[in-house]
Amino acid sequence: MGGIDEILVDHLPGETRAALLTRGRLVALRVMRAGQDSMVGAVLRGRVGIVRRDQGAAFVEIGTPKSGFLSLRRGAKPPVQGSAIVVQVTKDTVEDKGAGVTDRPVLVGRLLTLRTGQPGLERSRRLDPESFDRAVKALKQVELGNDGLMVNPAAAGASDEALVAEARALKAAWDEALKQPGAPKLLLPAPDPVLRAILDNAADLKAIWFDAADLLNRARAGLQRLAPGLASLPKLHAGTAPLFHRHELENQIDAALSPRVRLPGGAALVIDELAALTVIDVDMARQVFGGGNEDAVLAANLEAADEIARQIALRDLGGIVVVDFLRMAAGANRKRAIEALRRATVGDAQQIDVLGMTPAGLVEMTRRRSRPSLMHLLRGDPLAAGFALLRAAIAAAQSQPGKKLVARAAPGAVRALEAEKASLAFARARIPAGLELQADPSQSADRFDIAPG
Rounded to the nearest angstrom, the gap between the alpha carbon of residue 175 and the centroid of all alpha carbons in its chain is: 28
Across the range 106-134, mean pLDDT stands at: 93
- At residue 35, the pLDDT reads 77
- At residue 291, the pLDDT reads 53
Asked if residue 3 has pLDDT above 90, the reply is no
How far, in Å, CA of 164 to CA of 140, rounded? 9
Looking at residue 125, the DSSP 8-state letter turns out to be T
- Its CATH class, for the domain covering 43-102, is mainly beta
Q: Which helix (H) or strand (E) holds 429?
A: helix 421-429
How far, in Å, CA of 183 to CA of 86, rounded? 9
With CA atoms as reference, report the closest residue to 319 among 368, 352, 274.
368
- At residue 9, the pLDDT reads 97
CATH number for the region 380-452 comes to 3.40.1260.20
Bigger pLDDT: 290 or 379?
A: 379
DSSP-derived secondary structure for 298-314:
HHHHHHHHHHHHHHHHH
Q: Are residues 139 and 168 in contact, defined by beta-carbon separation less than 8 angstroms?
A: no
Share of the chain above pLDDT 90, in %: 74
Under the banding of pLDDT at 50, 70 and 90, the label for residue 36 is confident
- At residue 379, the pLDDT reads 84
Give residue-wise pLDDT tens across range 149-204.
999 988 998 999 999 999 999 999 999 999 999 999 999 999 888 998 998 888 78
Q: Where are the domains of the chain?
A: 6-37+191-251, 43-102, 106-188, 257-374, 380-452
Q: Are residues 127 and 112 in contact, defined by beta-carbon separation less than 8 angstroms?
A: no
Asked if residue 225 has pLDDT above 80, the reply is no
Q: Are residues 223 and 191 in contact, defined by beta-carbon separation less than 8 angstroms?
A: no
- At residue 86, the pLDDT reads 98
How far, in Å, CA of 80 to CA of 67, rounded? 16
Asked if residue 104 has pLDDT above 80, the reply is yes
How far, in Å, CA of 116 to CA of 98, rounded? 23
- At residue 239, the pLDDT reads 83
- At residue 301, the pLDDT reads 95
- Rg (the chain; Cα; Å): 24
What's the mean pLDDT when you consider all of the chain? 92
Q: How many other CB atoms are there within 10 angstroms of residue 381's CB atom?
A: 19
25-33 and 15-22 beta bridge pairing: antiparallel
CATH number for the region 6-37+191-251 comes to 3.30.420.140
Q: Are residues 363 and 304 in contact, defined by beta-carbon separation less than 8 angstroms?
A: no
φ, ψ of residue 438 to 5 degrees: the values are: -130, 125
Asked if residue 436 has pLDDT above 90, the reply is yes
43-52 and 100-102 beta bridge pairing: unpaired
Q: Are residues 305 and 340 in contact, defined by beta-carbon separation less than 8 angstroms?
A: yes
Give residue-wise pLDDT tens across range 341-378.
999 998 888 889 999 999 888 999 999 887 789 998 88
Under the banding of pLDDT at 50, 70 and 90, the label for residue 223 is confident
Residue 149, amino acid: L
Across the range 137-153, mean pLDDT stands at: 95
Residue 426, amino acid: F
How far, in Å, CA of 80 to CA of 50, rounded? 9
Across the range 241-261, mean pLDDT stands at: 94
Minimum mean pLDDT among 31-40, 180-189, 246-255: which range? 31-40
Q: Which helix (H) or strand (E) holds 265?
A: none
Asked if residue 420 has pLDDT above 60, the reply is yes
Q: What is the dihedral of CA 385, 32, 255, 446, to 10 degrees?
A: -10
DSSP-derived secondary structure for 195-254:
HHHHHHTTTT--EEEES-HHHHHHHHHHHHHH-GGGTTSEEE---SS-GGGGGGHHHHHH
Task: Report how far apart the first and last C-alpha atoms of the chain are (Å, whole number).
Answer: 45
Bigger pLDDT: 104 or 292?
A: 104
277-283 and 319-324 beta bridge pairing: parallel
- At residue 285, the pLDDT reads 67
Give residue-wise pLDDT tens across range 260-282.
999 998 999 999 999 889 999 99
- At residue 1, the pLDDT reads 55
